[in-house]
A and B are shown apart, each in its own frame.
Chain A
Amino acid sequence: MKLAVCRVTLLDGTDFTCEVEKRAKGQFLFFKVCEHLNLMEKDYFGLAYIDSHEHKCWLDPTKEIKRQIRSNNWQFAFSVKFYPPDPSLLTEDITRYLLCLQLREDVASGRLPCSFVTHALLGSYTLQAEAGDYEPDQPRPLDNVGQLTFAPNQNKEMEEKILELHKSHRGMTPALADVQFLENAKKLSMYGVDLHHAKDSEGVDIMLGVCANGLLVYKDRLRINRFAWPKILKISYKRNNFYIKIRPGETEQFESTVGFKLQNHRSAKRLWKVCVENHSFFRLNAPEPPAKARFLTLGSKFRYSGRTQAQTRVASSLIDRPEPCFERTASKRSSRSLDGAPMISITEATSENGRDPHLDLHSDSKTAEVEIEETVVVQEVSIAPKPGLVSVTSPQEVTAEKEVVVTVETKEAKQESVSSESESEEEAEYHPNVSVSICHTQIPEEEEEEEEEKEEEKGVSVPDAPSLPAEVEEEEIEKKKNVEKEVEAKSNYDPITTQATNGHTLPKESGLAPEEEEEEEEELKMNGEASVVEAEPRPQVICCSEPPVVKTEMVTISDTFAAQKTEIATKEVPIVHTETKTITYEAAQLDGNGDGEPGVLMTAQTITSESLCTTTTTHITKMLKGGLSETRIEKRIVITGDCDIDHDQALAQAIKEAKEQHPDMSVTRVVVHKETELAEEED
């Protein structure tokens, strides 16, 4: 077994060296570093390296290291990849500490610009965290400060201001100082913005900034445009051009495409990847399923493979270990030259975070690791479905009918199924508005927007069995009303006219009010179910493809760990009294026409085979030109019963039966819907 040496520069400037198998994947190294750091909330971080063209790249955890970093020197920098918009929501102090380390570097290098006063304020919190309370009898305090770099243009005046402010933080613990640091840093306009040089369509030099909210366009430091994620329908690159397709405004009929020129196609691809990752992390509840059978998609099939913010937040809320002790070792900084940050040297700081100075690496790490290592896929609020549920058609294809996933350009990309790091990939596409699993942290305005989008798409998606429509519509109308009500109450903007509305995502607490949840679920109904993903051994709740008849409550129980842990870590008490589990199964022949016209319902039959299982078969006949007609057969199998029933078996059985009847039928969508009945009348 051949081994290779990896050197990772940590955020405090120290180096961490380890050996990995030559063919090890990025994930392996990343986890080793996180283990060394005793970090559990890993999803915000990544390993960066400099490629052969002197550009910073992120190490893809799913791919082999050796296929990514081409040089013989495996040198990485552990860095923040996704900046959490609200750091106070992070569960552990150590996570905040690492985020602070990153931000100190960002500020000191000028990557995160701020005013003189802010530099001083942030510096004072850094000093409080590292050196503790201001000591007036300390010899030459100014010297100590002078050895730290807080700003690119630091001078005596700033150092004096820092000291002055430091005095006022007396009594503040390091953890609290970190919190204050982050509270101020997060408000800075460039916080979490990843910048890329580009040119606009007129050849003017601009910067494109990718962040949690969307894509920003800067001319120097001036923000000249902003495209929030909900407004972006498609992100693509081709050669050295980067394109985004924007949704039409209310008065517009057509989508518009905005193009930018990058330096070369590597840069375009890099920008594209960053967009895909940021969108996925901040917007989706679960990452898109791995690319398979996307034969209509050209070029890179790169998708974000990690957990999303929604997922990591839930996982974070389950962290149940005592706060890890860690040493504040910023004093041992050496150059973080990986990304051009200046050389920083600090005199030895001695204080820790008030606990035992030695690193306690293994406190509960065993159980903790088990928790985190699991890929807990959260569909909006609940835990992953069973395995064995049939694989789903990529939701993209379901909803993107409007787009007709065929690129207009000539096929220049020769590599189809090649791994996405292949540099020769000249183009790729990504449709971010995979409306299927939009993060529940949107604000109501966005829901309204997405509701609009759903409305538009409704005409395209397969209509449900006849017994439903009335209900469905009622819910929709109700939902729209709810949303509108909220919007009005906040007395915000009017419907879109020329420009896109403000679709910004203010992340909220993961504990949502039931009302919003309900809205969210209703939203989901339009697009059927999300990527049903990997396995948990227990059947659990999934959110639904149709509006719940009865309210459901957020259940953050992770039963998946019940087998390993004696206690279940929950943050909310489930109020479920009885449960009825419904598995809805829809299958339809693919509609290759794609003209989006809803079919005319010709016949419908209801066949009941068992008391547990109801199958509704709908034949939808579409009249085409030339007197031809096309019939689509839709089967909706609803399996109801108490939780005692093995739903999966029943489902598998039902699918088998359906296939016997129609051998060329394929499963396009599987949804697990849980209805709960509350004993109380209250909500």
Chain B
Amino acid sequence: MAGKMAGLMAGFGHYTHAVVRGVPASLAKEALRSSQAEVDLAGARSEHEAYVQVLGTRLGLEVVVLPADESLPDCVFVEDAAVVCGDTALITRPGAESRRRETEAMKAALKELNLNIVEMTDENATLDGGDVLFTGQEFFVGLSKRTNQKGAEILADCFKDYAVSTVPVLEGLHLKSFCSMGGPGLILIGSSEHAQKTLKIMQQMSDHRYDKLTLPDDLAANCLYMNLPNKGHVLLHPTAEEFPESVTVFEKLKDHMLIPVSNMEKAKLDGALTCCSVLITKRADI
């Protein structure tokens, strides 16, 4: 009876496809960043290559690679361009004006994958996918420099099954700059004061209860979780080179296949592991 449609919220993390995008040369000098760090383009490209390899070759996802666009230095961070849940994709309106056109290629790719497309066209609304945390049971949308309430309202209207709650992002770029899902019902969270505050608000806003795993480094709390056939729980996490203290915490996850993936160069641009892909669950019968 479970059949093809197991109903709402079946199988958190059961992805089949991933959409990624190439690294433009303009990334090194022109991509938005909060610090003044210099980015090594070659390094960024090679770590991205490794990332895509893990998704496709190692984990067996069907990877769609969108071509880089020099006029869009941040285009590698595809997460911000769309929010996908189930069979519906919300094409966002990124908070930074320089990034608006990143959504065009994303929309086309998601249409190709036969998802229902909803576009955020309201000019008063902004939303970056990096501010959206889907827990499997509900959404949290971080109100940050890039995402506003109107954007969150449109997301809530788009995904009607789920509760969508707003939480403040007091510091850092995005909500997911200091948290992510590490498994079903498990929130990975950074140790900084604002991270902990935001977590408390998430807990207050929720009817559900979550376990948490605290990482000493905020950015280390951004990991990519998947639950794949023949592999079970999978977690892509930052390397020991980047966050030596945090890495030991991941070892607590005894049931997970842990895959360290370097993100050092992109981190200088406030990029994290979830930023570089949009994960989709496509059912075979669609």
Residues of A within 8 A of B212 (CB): 491-493
Closest to B152 in A: A222
Inter-subunit contact B209/A180 (CB<8 Å) = no
Residues of A contacting B152 in the complex (Cβ-Cβ under 8 angstroms): 222
Partner among B7, B163, B164, B213 whose Cβ is within 8 Å of the Cβ of A491: B213
User: Could you tell me if A226 and B166 are in contact, using CB atoms closer than 8 angstroms?
Assistant: no
A interface majority secondary structure: loop
Q: Please measure, in the bound complex, the distance between the C-alpha atom of A490 and the C-alpha atom of B209, giving whole angstroms.
A: 9
Query: A183-B7, A188-B161, A222-B156 in contact; A504/B149 too (CB < 8 A)?
Result: no
A499 and B204 within 8 A (CB): yes
- Whether, in the assembled complex, B207 has its beta carbon less than 8 Å from a beta carbon of chain A, the answer is yes
**Complex CA–CA separation, A491 to B199 (angstroms):** 13
0 or 1 for each of A166-192: is its CB under 8 Å from B? (1 = yes) = 001101100000001001100111000
Q: Which of A114-122, A370-378, A410-418 lies at the binding interface?
A: A114-122
Q: Considering the chains assembled together, what is the distance between the CA atoms of A680 and B65 in angstroms?
A: 68
CB of A629, distance to nearest CB on chain B (Å): 45
Residue of B nearest to A120 (CB): B5
Per-residue B-contact encoding for A199-212, CB less than 8 Å = 1, 0 else: 00000000000000
Query: B200 near A184 (CB under 8 angstroms)?
Result: no
A452 → chain B, closest Cβ, in Å? 15
Whether B153 pairs with A504 at a CB distance below 8 angstroms is no
**Which residues of B191-208 are within 8 A (CB) of A?**
196-197, 199-201, 203-208
The answer for the CA separation of A223 and B143 in the assembled complex, in Å, is 13
B108 contacts the other chain (CB 8 A): no
* Residues of A close to B137: CB separation below 8 A: 187
Tally of contact residues, B, Cβ under 8 A:
43
- When C-beta atoms are compared, the residue in chain A nearest to B88 turns out to be A115
Q: Do B206 and A504 touch (CB < 8 A)? A: yes
Taking A115-B160, A121-B5 as contacts, is the C-beta distance between A189 and B200 under 8 angstroms? no
- Evaluate contact between A224 and B165: CB separation under 8 angstroms: yes
The reply to whether the CB of B134 lies closer than 8 angstroms to some CB of chain A is no
Task: Give A180 to B5 CA distance when docked, in angstroms.
Answer: 12
Query: Within 8 Å CB of A219, what residues of B?
Result: 149, 153
Q: Is B30 an interface residue, CB under 8 A from the partner? A: no
List the A residue with the shortest CB-CB distance to B155.
A222
> Which of A172, A184, A492, A499 touches B7 (beta carbons < 8 Å)?
A184
Q: Which residues of A570-608 have CB atoms within 8 Å of chain B's CB atoms? A: none
Tell me the smallest distance from the CB of A29 to a CB of chain B, in Å.
34
Contact status B199-A493, CB under 8 Å? yes
Chain B proximity of A283: nearest CB distance (Å) = 14
Residue in B86, B88, B209 whose CB lies within 8 Å of A504:
B209
Q: Does B4 contact A (CB under 8 A)?
A: yes
Complex-state Cα separation, A648 to B141, whole angstroms? 59
Report if A506 contacts B (CB, 8 A).
yes
B3 with A226: CB separation less than 8 A? no
A222–B166 contact, CB under 8 A?
A: yes
Query: B165–A226 contact, CB under 8 A?
Result: yes
Tell me the minimal C-beta distance from A255 to chain B in angstroms.
Answer: 16
Contact A499 B207 (CB under 8 A): no
B215 CB to nearest A CB, Å: 13
Interface residues of B in 1-53 (CB under 8 A from A): 1, 3-5, 7-9
A683 part of interface (Cβ distance < 8 Å)? no
Question: A118 to B209, Cβ gap below 8 A?
Answer: no
A187-B9, A491-B212, A504-B207 known; A117 and B86 CB under 8 Å?
A: yes
**Contact of A213 with B207 in the complex, beta carbons under 8 Å:** yes
Residues of chain B with a CB closer than 8 A to A609's CB: none
Q: Verify if A72 is at the interface (C-beta below 8 Å from B).
A: no
Q: Are A223 and B209 in contact (CB under 8 A)?
A: no
CB distance B1 to A172 under 8 Å?
A: yes
Is the Cβ of A222 less than 8 Å from the Cβ of B149? yes
A168 and B5 contacting across the interface, CB-CB below 8 Å:
yes
Interface string of A220-245 (1 = CB under 8 A from B): 11111110100000000000000000
Q: Chain B residues near A165 (CB, 8 Å)?
A: 5
Contact of A187 among B5, B116, B161, B164 (CB under 8 A): B161
Does A426 count as interface, using CB distance less than 8 angstroms? no
Q: Mark B151-190, 1 if CB is under 8 A from A, else 0.
A: 0110011011111111000000000000000000000000
Q: Are A499 and B88 in contact (CB under 8 A)?
A: no
Q: Are A189 and B161 in contact (CB under 8 A)?
A: yes
Chain A 288-331 near chain B by CB (<8 Å), digits 1 or 0? 00000000000000000000000000000000000000000000
Residues of B within 8 A of A169 (CB): 1, 3
Interface membership of B87, Cβ < 8 A: yes
Other-chain contact of B209, A117, A187, A188, A492 (Cβ < 8 Å): A492
Contact yes or no, A189 B162, CB < 8 A = yes
Choose among A183, A188, A221, A226 the residue that contacts B156 (Cβ–Cβ < 8 A). A221
- Out of B8, B206, B207, which one reaches A184, CB within 8 Å? B8
Contact assessment for A501 and B153 in the assembled complex, using a CB-CB cutoff below 8 Å: no
**Nearest Cβ in chain B — how far from A181, in angstroms?**
10
Contacts of A172 in B (CB 8 A): 1
From B205, which residue of chain A is reached at the shortest CB distance? A226
Residue of B nearest to A493 (CB): B203
Option from A221, A223, A499 in Cβ contact (under 8 Å) with B160: A221
Residues of chain B within 8 A of A506, CB atoms compared: 209
Judging by beta carbons under 8 Å apart, are B166 and A114 in contact?
no
User: Nearest residue in B to A221 (C-beta to C-beta)?
Assistant: B156
For the complex, give the distance between the alpha carbons of A357 and B126 in Å: 57
Q: B210 → chain A, closest Cβ, in Å?
A: 7
The answer to whether B161 and A494 have CB atoms under 8 Å apart is no
Interface: A617 (CB within 8 A): no
B270 to chain A: which residues have CB within 8 Å?
Answer: none
Query: Which of A443, A501, A504 contacts B200, CB < 8 Å?
Result: A501
Q: Interface readout for A501-541 with B: 1 if CB under 8 Å, 0 if not?
A: 11110100000000000000000000000000000000000
Query: CB distance A117 to B153 under 8 Å?
Result: no
A116-B116, A223-B164 known; A491+B149 contact, CB < 8 A: no
A residues in contact with B86, CB < 8 Å:
115, 117
Q: Are A187 and B156 in contact (CB under 8 A)?
A: no
Q: Is A4 an interface residue (CB 8 A)?
A: no
Residue-wise interface mask of A (600-632) relative to B, using a CB-CB cutoff of 8 A (1 in contact, 0 not) = 000000000000000000000000000000000
Contacts of B157 in A (CB 8 A): 220-221
Whether A500 and B8, one on each chain, are in contact in the complex, defined by CB atoms closer than 8 angstroms, is no
Q: Does B211 interact with chain A (Cβ within 8 Å)? A: yes
C-alpha gap A668/B200 in the complex (Å): 40
A172 CB, nearest partner CB in chain B, Å: 6
Q: Is the CB of A114 within 8 A of B161?
A: yes
B69-127 at interface with A (beta carbon < 8 Å): 86-88, 116
Assess whether B88 is in contact with A491, with CB atoms less than 8 Å apart: no
Please, which residues of chain B bring their CB within 8 A of the CB of A445?
A: 209
Task: Say yes or no: is B138 at the interface (Cβ < 8 Å to chain A).
Answer: yes
Task: With both chains docked as a complex, state the minimum distance between the C-beta of A119 and any C-beta of chain B, in angstroms.
Answer: 9
Residues of the B chain whose Cβ atoms lie less than 8 Å from the Cβ of A184: 7-8
Contact residue among B7, B200, B204 (Cβ-Cβ distance under 8 Å from A180) = B7
In the complex, what's the smallest C-beta–C-beta distance from A603 to chain B, in angstroms?
A: 47
Residue of B nearest to A119 (CB): B160
User: Footprint of B on A, CB under 8 Å?
Assistant: 113-118, 121, 165, 168-169, 171-172, 180, 183-184, 187-189, 213, 219-226, 228, 443, 445, 490-494, 496-504, 506
Q: Give B residues with C-beta under 8 Å from A.
A: 1, 3-5, 7-9, 86-88, 116, 137-138, 141, 149, 152-153, 156-157, 159-166, 196-197, 199-201, 203-213
Q: What are the 10 A-B residue pairs with the smallest beta carbon separation, nearest first? A: A502-B203, A189-B163, A221-B156, A168-B3, A223-B165, A113-B160, A222-B156, A220-B153, A222-B153, A184-B7
Would you give 25 A-B contacts (Cβ < 8 Å), ordered by A? A113-B160, A114-B161, A115-B161, A117-B87, A121-B8, A168-B1, A172-B1, A180-B1, A183-B7, A184-B8, A188-B8, A189-B163, A219-B153, A220-B153, A226-B204, A226-B206, A443-B209, A445-B209, A490-B209, A491-B213, A492-B210, A496-B200, A497-B200, A502-B204, A502-B205
Known pairs A187-B161, A213-B207; list 16 more (Cβ under 8 Å).
A115-B86, A118-B160, A168-B4, A171-B1, A184-B8, A188-B161, A189-B162, A223-B156, A223-B205, A491-B212, A493-B199, A498-B200, A499-B200, A502-B206, A504-B206, A506-B209
